Amino acid sequence: MSRLIEADPERVWKALTNPAEVVAWDERMLAPVDASSDYPFSGGVRWRYQLGRVQVVMHDRPLEVVPGARLKRKIRLGSLRYDQTLSLTPVAERPGQTNLAIKIVTPNWIPLVGDAVDRFSARELATRHVDDTLRQIQAFFSSDQSS
């Protein structure tokens, strides 16, 4: 899934990787529990995360970092574990705009206490997460908050 963002890739990158900015545009991210000053280069971050009506800890561990262009990370959110790749591409015909694509790879099932969520439910959860993320960052850059 992808969306057009009204900012250049470097600015979008900052919004995606600066913990203070992430909490400004992602309503689910409540606060970093521990974040290094040079995230994502020095390792992961744990977040207090709002999952529906429950607060959980989300673990975010970078796997590949290409500043301003690509961030691949392993996410653990409660029982849900997935790999997420954020790709930023400048739009040649529209200077100052970026195509932000998010790809998620999930396992076929998610273990739960006494049961499991099947691959279709896992896919639905992941799809909803990506759509919410893209919608929120697009709205952030459409408003005056990103200045």
Tell whether 49 is covered by a domain. no
Check residues 33 and 118 and name the one with the higher pLDDT: 33
pLDDT of res. 7: 95
What is the average pLDDT score of the chain?
Answer: 86
Question: Which CATH number covers residue 64?
Answer: 3.30.530.20
Residue 20 within any structural domain of the chain: yes
Q: What is the largest CA-CA distance in the chain?
A: 53
Q: Is residue 115 part of a domain?
A: yes
Mean per-residue pLDDT, 8-33: 94
Residue 53 lies in a domain: no
Domain, as residue range, for 75: 2-27+60-146
pLDDT for 51 equals 84
**Better-predicted residue by pLDDT, 80 or 141:** 141
- Mean pLDDT value of segment 73-101: 90
Report the number of distinct structural domains present in the chain. Answer: 1
Classify residue 32: in a domain, yes or no. no
E strands in the chain: 2-5, 29-34, 45-51, 54-66, 70-77, 80-90, 98-105, 110-112, 115-117
Provide the pLDDT confidence category of residue 24 given band limits of 50, 70 and 90.
Answer: very high
Give me the phi and psi of 49, to 5 degrees please: -130, 135
Q: Of 60, 63, 37, which is closest to residue 47 (Cα–Cα)?
A: 60
Strand partners, 62: 73
C-alpha 67/C-alpha 13 separation (Å) is 7
**Region 62-84: what's the mean pLDDT?**
90
pLDDT at 137 over 70: yes
Has residue 34 been placed in a domain?
A: no
Any domain includes 55: no
Whether pTM > 0.75 for this model: the answer is yes
For residue 39, tell me if it sits in a domain: no
CA distance 32 to 60: 10
